[in-house]
A and B are shown apart, each in its own frame.
Chain A
């Protein structure tokens, strides 16, 4: 190895942003467009969906036919580099904890492959403690965030419908796509048992909104990232135009090590290791904005220790890393006999569901405090690795063209079965709100470092009865819907008390939030209501870390709104010379 030396970048920036996902991309976009000079650090390589997406590749163009690898846990065509494990970057667990940590390493972060589900938090979602006495209220309300949701709807584009639901607020929506056939079945079946099904709200362009992005062409592959920028990825929609202003220096393969401080206790910049040459670098700026993901931002703060900040920068409260929480999740699948031997046509549609179920019940009448929404899947999917896997569990259960067959088998008769069942499957996934708790946290493992010598995170999280009871309710609901549409449960039907009703491990739903939460009380929260550190006025955190609670809504739209809000605040404060 060459001698290690620290290379100091002489240019002084207005802002150093760590991470280029939803939060960091938005901050870079707002600051750059305000004329500020930005250094945007990203731990992974460059990525532009136009150049690097697997969109429209055929199954046989993957040697493993789209199966997952450690590099692509969601499949070989998925648009996210890395996931649950990264070579040389471990994380550890404490007291039998089983947190699952997804980490994207690429420009745009995990927004390149996410589900594009873009739900506003509702008025209740900011004031949960006032409603059920659990967790804490946010220091802001829906009215504070609404203007930013509106701006983001217009800037980025989202389809949906205004339904006038109090806690699922209306927005500025593009027209949604019509439901697919199985979605009509779901809508009818759920409607019969008084469960609402409404058009989904996804950040996909059903109409062109500006000259840089094309309208969706319905290949259902948003998860691969979109070459024509027809959906929202931070890489294509925020980072690219931000860089085009000339005000952003994007530094890729830059793994942040520490936030640097001066004698006054202010943040002065960030030190990082360049993964390409393994050298140490330092960049300096008037503000430091963390957007590395809830857990990575917490890790960075906890690792930024000094005499002045012995517990890590911005952590006089001791709260950094605490209140870590993920969405709850439980799923079930079935098959609809009425759809056997369907007429074939292209029903790809957009990348994701065309309809969903927002939370529809009153928790006062239930044995768990917070709600969940239901996401739906099914229909004619591209055949990929695992296509009709274990058909022997299916083909003995149903008559095929009027004929009862023995399970398993081979030959022309088996080929007939694969055709017969294609497109008849349906799936549903509950995604709900867990309670953010002080004893669910990540901390620095005192013994372990990654390959760059950076101390790693150790997790301590577990579910309570609230989340388990909610998963039980999800499962009961799914069974009712499936039953109501005449479907037969094919998976997820055997979960019960023995396995928390199929409740996924915390972290598994990839909505990590809460580690650097905002609040008015500096003793109980690292950030104020502008995502600004109570302790260090030129340090901000604009990712999922700032969340007090995460609602039963996917968090990206709110990350974008809060990051935009914090960024406008930063521009204003800089103008006033306050930072």
Chain B
């Protein structure tokens, strides 16, 4: 049973939470199915008021903010910040550049720091390597990034670059860890029907914690063996 069906079952009411939780234990193929549904039906806006629907529509239809050169640099930087590793894919695998394109339109305060920061980076690269950042080779790009990626040891004249890279790191991480891939990577297990039965025993033991008798007597508990 997937998330939406399970919620529907809860809403209709005829089904108890216990039955529901068993149903949810079956492996879900959620990701793929939900994406398909969404493409077919468009975004679910039953939770939006009219004013929001209008603004969201305007944002979806707004012209691009970043040009192709800027997007290329954002994609390269994003994948340097969040590369593919043993656990998960890269920023571009998670479509982080598209998120950054959206969010600067939704939060215009990011527009100038991003556009200006990218231009600052290109000017640095032009001076050093006679090429824009995206056209530099990998070694040159990493050399440049190392000048601005470490706030405490960066040279004073690199401070604007540090500020830009901090923002780029923030937007990339926010964009990545809020995708299905990123949520899985970081190991967030919630957002699903559950019966909270307290901290698992092995975890309590690990931290030398225990529930008091008062807590065990007073608090709600669920029979996990059922």
Contact = CB atoms under 8 A, between A and B. Distances in A.
A415 B49 contact: no
Contacts of B55: 69, 71
Given A345-B203, A347-B190, A407 B150 contact: yes
A66 B178 contact: yes
A494 B197 CA distance: 37
A388 B173 contact: yes
Contacts of B155: none
A350 B83 CA distance: 35
A130 B6 CA distance: 54
A199 B162 CA distance: 45
Contacts of B165: 408
Given A227-B10, A392-B151, A63 B59 contact: yes
Nearest to B168: A410
Contact of A406 (B88, B153, B196): B153
Contact of A219 (B102, B193, B203, B218): B193
B85 interface: yes
A67 B43 CA distance: 17
Interface string B183-221: 101111111111111111011101101010001001111
A407 B152 contact: yes
Given A382-B188, A410-B149, A419-B187, A177 B220 contact: yes
Contacts of A52: 46-47
Given A176-B218, A228-B10, A348 B191 contact: yes
Contacts of B7: 55-56, 227
Nearest to A219: B191
Given A176-B219, A178-B196, A410-B145, A344 B189 contact: yes
B187 A45 contact: no
Contact of A179 (B13, B185, B190, B215): B215
A61 B44 contact: yes
A418 B169 CA distance: 12
A407 B151 contact: yes
B176 to A, nearest CB: 9
Contact of A348 (B194, B197, B215): B194
Contacts of A549: none
Contacts of B83: 411-412, 415
B10 A178 contact: no
A412 B196 contact: no
Interface centre among A65, A66, A175, A185 (most CB of B within 10 A): A65
B215 to A, nearest CB: 6
Interface residues on B, range: 35 or more
Given A380-B189, A383-B178, A385-B174, A338 B207 contact: yes
B221 A178 contact: yes
A415 B3 CA distance: 28
B130 interface: no
Contacts of A56: 3-4, 7, 191-192
A20 to B, nearest CB: 15
A579 interface: no
A172 interface: no
Interface in B69-98: 80-83, 85, 87-88
B196 to A, nearest CB: 4
B13 A217 contact: no
A381 B189 CA distance: 9
A414 interface: yes
Contacts of B56: 63
A389 B118 CA distance: 20
A422 B186 contact: yes
A54 B200 contact: no
B32 interface: no
A150 interface: no
Contacts of A491: none
A161 interface: yes
Contact of B52 (A69, A179, A384, A385): A69
Contact of A81 (B49, B169, B193): B49
Contact of A178 (B47, B50, B197): B197
B174 A65 contact: yes
Contact of B196 (A66, A349, A388): A349
A64 interface: yes
A410 B190 contact: no
Interface in A25-58: 44-45, 50-58
Contacts of B215: 178-179, 199
Contacts of B170: 389-391
B151 A418 contact: no
Contacts of A388: 173, 177
A396 B154 CA distance: 14
A77 B47 CA distance: 8
A343 interface: yes
B49 A71 contact: yes
A235 interface: no
Given A60-B178, A217-B10, A219-B190, 17 more contacts: A60-B180, A71-B55, A106-B49, A175-B219, A177-B198, A184-B209, A188-B209, A217-B193, A346-B190, A350-B196, A381-B188, A383-B186, A388-B177, A407-B152, A408-B166, A411-B83, A412-B85
19 contacts: A45-B49, A51-B46, A53-B47, A58-B183, A63-B56, A178-B219, A178-B220, A179-B198, A179-B211, A185-B209, A217-B194, A219-B191, A219-B194, A345-B203, A346-B192, A349-B196, A382-B188, A390-B166, A422-B186
Interface of B: 3-4, 7, 10-11, 13, 17, 20, 43-44, 46-47, 49-52, 55-56, 59-60, 80-83, 85, 87-88, 99, 102-103, 106-107, 145, 149-153, 162, 165-166, 169-170, 173-175, 177-180, 182-183, 185-200, 202-204, 206-207, 209, 211, 215, 218-221
Interface of A: 44-45, 50-61, 63-67, 69, 71-72, 77, 81, 87, 106, 159, 161, 174-181, 184-185, 188, 199, 206-207, 214-215, 217-221, 227-228, 338, 342-350, 380-392, 396, 406-412, 414-415, 418-419, 422
